[in-house]
Structures are given as structure tokens and as C-alpha cells.
Amino acid sequence: METQATQQRTAHVKLGAQEYAVPAGPTVVSVLKQELGVDPMFVLYLIHGQERRVLDDAETIDVESGQHFEAVPGGAVS
């Protein structure tokens, strides 16, 4: 029987068109990249409507279901 302390909340997020289930809650962006299988040299963006926000690797974000991310090779940012 799982106790509440061992239960992990899961967030369903998208990277491009692909959906992933990752741990929900505060997450360092570099760790999120690993969970999504993103190359460490890529830049990760958080997409919200028409807005794209660059996520710094050292930044901590609150991962929650419904978020949409995009990964772009470093140096190709427009």
C-alpha cells in the first residue's frame, strides 16, 4: 500500500506534438529536459498561446498538466 509520502503527482505536458507524463511540481529546467529527453544543448521554451518564454537551465518552474514546451537547437533562436 502506497503512503501519501511516496505518491508522486504526475503532469501531462506536451513537447511539440508529443505528450509526456512527468513529475508535477517545482522542477529545475535542466532536470525537466532530461525527463523530456531533450538534448542539454537545446533551448527549452514554455509556450502559452502565441507567447514563447525561454527557460534558463538553472531556473525552477512549477510543472503542471496542460503546459506546452518547445525545444530548439542552441544558436537557432530567432
8 three-class SS: coil
**pTM higher than the cut 0.85:** no
Q: For 1-13, what is the mean pLDDT?
A: 70
pLDDT tens per residue across span 26-37: 999 999 999 999
Length of the chain: 78
Look at residues 55, 24, 25 and name the one whose alpha carbon lies nearest to residue 38.
55
pLDDT at 76: 46
Cell numbers that stand for 5 in this block? 509520502
pLDDT band per the 50, 70, 90 thresholds, residue 1: very low
Neighbours of 41 (CB within 10 A): 10
Percent of the chain surpassing pLDDT 70: 86
pLDDT at 77 over 50: no
